Amino acid sequence: MTVSEQRASTSVPPKSVPPRRTEKDTMGPLEVPEGTYFGASTQRAVLNFPISGERFNRRFIWALGTIKQAAAVVNAELGIVDSAKARAIATAAEEVARGDLDDQFVLDVFQTGSGTSTNMNANEVIGNRATEILGGAFGSRLIHPNDDVNQGQSSNDVIPTAIHLAALAEIQERLDPALAHLQQALEQKAEEFWPIIKTGRTHLQDATPVRLGQEFKGYAGQVERSRRRLGWACEDMEEVALGGNAVGTGINMHPDFPRLTCERITEWTGVRIRETENHFQAQSTIDGVVFASGAVRTTAVSLLKIANDIRWMGSGPRAGIGEIDLPAVQPGSSIMPGKVNPVIAEALTQVCAMAIGNDQGVVIAGQSGNFELNVMMPVAARNLLQALQYLAAATRNFADQLVVNLKATDRGPAMVEQGLMLVTALAPAVGYDQAAAIAKEAFATGKTVRELARERTSLTADELDRILDPRAMVQPGQSFASAGG
C-alpha cells in the first residue's frame, strides 16, 4: 500500500454540515444554525467579531433580560404592544434573565462599541422564543425583534442601563457582603490581638511600639471605608440612561415608559434604579461606570495593602518577620519539602492587580464618548463586572481561609525591648539629640535603649520603667516628661 493509500484509509471522514434555516434582517437573508433562537443580525455579528471567544457574563445577561421583561410589561400597560404578545415577550425575557437561554448569547464581548449586537442578540432570542410560545415558526417574526421586543428602546440606552443594573446587583449582592464578612473577621482579630504589643514599622524600618490589634483595626477600617465608597458609587449608578433612546431625546417612546420600567425593575429585583434627569449626559458618557470602577480600584488597592502586610508579618518562619502564623493550606514547593507559602494572600493580590488594570481600561473607555454616544461600552462592562465578580470571590476566600485562622506568635512582643525607637519616649526627658545618640550607640553595640539610658542619663530605674513602658507608648497623646522639646 502506498503512502497516499495509507493516508486515504486512515483519514477522518468530513463532518456533516449541521442543518440551517434562513432568517433575515434589514441587510437581507442569512443562514443561521437550525434550532437556535437568534437570527440574522446576531449571526452577522458572530461572523464579524471572531476575536476573543469571551462573552458577556451571567450578571449582564440577567440585567438585559430583566430590562426586556419589564419593558414588555410596561408596553402592555401603556397599550403600545398587544397584551398577548407582551406576555410571551415577558415570559421569554424572564427565561433570559434566569439563565435558561445563556447558550443563545453567542457574541464576543469585543464588538460594536454601543453593544448593539448584543442588544439585537437579546431581541432576536426573545422574539423567536416568544414566537414559539405563541405557536409560530422561527423566523416568521410573529414577534418582531425590533417593533415588539425593542419597543421604546435603543441599544444606546438599554446597554448602559444594563451595565448599571448589573454592577449595582454585583456590588450589593456579592462584593459588599464579602467585604462586610472580611471587615468582621478583621475586627475580631483586632480584638483578639489587642493585648499583643510589637514593634511598629515606617519606611520598612523600626518605629515606636504598636498593638497588633491596632494594626488589624486599621485593616478593618480600610475595608469599612471601601464599602462606604462603593455605596457612593451605587448612589451614582442608580441614575440610568433608559428613556433617552437613540441620542437622548426619547424619540419613538412613550414619555412614561422609562419611569414605569425602572419602577418595575426596582420592585422585582430590589436593586433601585431611576431615570436620569439628563439623558444627554447619560448616553454620551459612562461617567457613572468610570466612577464606580474607581471605587473598585480603590478597594483593590486597600485589599492589596492588607494582604501584603499580613503575608510580610507571616514571613519566615525563621528568617522572616514571623509575628503571625498563617494557616498552612497546601504544600508550597515542588522541590523544597515542608515549605508552606501564603497562597491565599497571593491569590487575592493577583485579583487586586487585575482589578486595578481593568480600571485603566474603563478609564480609556470613558474617554470614548463621541458626541451623543460612548462607543466602548462593552469593554467597560466587561472590565467592571469582571473586577467585581473576582474581587468578591477572592475577598471572601481571603477572610475564610486566612484571616479567621491567623495566630499571633511571641516574636513581636519579644523584639519590643530590642527596639531602637523606644528612644522616642525618652526624647522629652533627655532631648532629641541625646536620644538620637543613644539610639545610634544601641544599634552599634547591640545594647538596649534601657541599658544605655541607665548609663548615659541621670534617670532612675523607676523613671526608666515608667518612660519605657511599651503599654504606655501605644496610648494616643501619651507624654513622658513635662519639659517641652
**DSSP-derived secondary structure for 8-75:** HHHPPPPPPPPPEEEEEETTEEEEEETT-S--HHHHHHHHH--S------HHHHHHHHHHHHHHHHHH
Q: Can you give the pLDDT at residue 340?
A: 85
The CATH number, out of the four listed (1.10.486.10, 2.60.40.60, 1.20.200.10, 3.20.20.80), of the domain defined by the range 162-411: 1.20.200.10
Q: Which residue has the cell 454616544?
A: 373
CATH topology of 162-411 equal to that of 417-473? no
User: Catalytic annotation on 254?
Assistant: no
Parallel/antiparallel/unpaired status of strands 197-202 and 28-33: unpaired
Dig out the grid coordinates for 224 from the structure. 469599612
- Residue 198: left if φ>0, alpha if ψ -120 to 50, beta else—which one? beta
Q: Can you give the pLDDT at residue 289?
A: 98
Please give the Cα distance from 416 to 197 (Å, whole number).
8
Please give the Cα distance from 285 to 377 (Å, whole number).
9
Please give the Cα distance from 123 to 137 (Å, whole number).
16
Domain ranges of the chain: 20-151, 162-411, 417-473
3-state secondary structure of 447: coil
Residues 6+ apart with CB under 8 A from 146: 123
Long-range interactions of 305-308: CB distance < 8 A, separation 24+ = 305/222, 306/186, 306/219, 306/222, 306/223, 307/345, 307/346, 307/348, 307/349, 307/352, 307/398, 308/345, 308/349
Whether domain 417-473 has CATH 1.10.40.30:
yes
Residues 6+ apart with CB under 8 A from 150: 119, 123, 158
Residues of the chain with pLDDT under 50: 7-8, 481-485
Please give the Cα distance from 108 to 402 (Å, whole number).
37
Q: From the CB of residue 242, how many other CB atoms can be counted at a distance below 10 Å? A: 31
Read off the amino acid at residue 375: V
Q: Can you give the pLDDT at residue 317?
A: 87
Parallel/antiparallel/unpaired status of strands 274-275 and 239-240: parallel
Of residues 11, 16, 203, 458, which has the active-site annotation?
203
Q: What is the pLDDT of residues 68-111, one digit of tens each?
A: 999 999 999 999 999 999 999 999 999 999 999 999 999 999 99
Please say whether the beta carbons of 250 and 280 come within 8 A.
Answer: no
Q: From the CB of residue 158, how many other CB atoms can be counted at a distance below 10 Å? A: 29
The rounded radius of gyration (Å) of the Cα atoms in the chain is 31
Please say whether the beta carbons of 125 and 37 come within 8 A.
Answer: yes
- Give the number of C-alpha atoms closer than 13 A to the C-alpha of residue 457, restricted to the C-beta side: 24
End-to-end CA distance of the chain: 102
User: Sign of the C-alpha dihedral, residues 207, 213, 214, 218?
Assistant: positive
Residues 6+ apart with CB under 8 A from 45: 107, 108, 111, 112, 117, 120, 121
User: Catalytic annotation on 203?
Assistant: yes
Dig out the grid coordinates for 360 from the structure. 485603566
Q: Can you give the pLDDT at residue 478?
A: 60
Architecture of domain 20-151: Orthogonal Bundle (1.10)
Please give the Cα distance from 280 to 293 (Å, whole number).
21
pTM of the model: 0.93
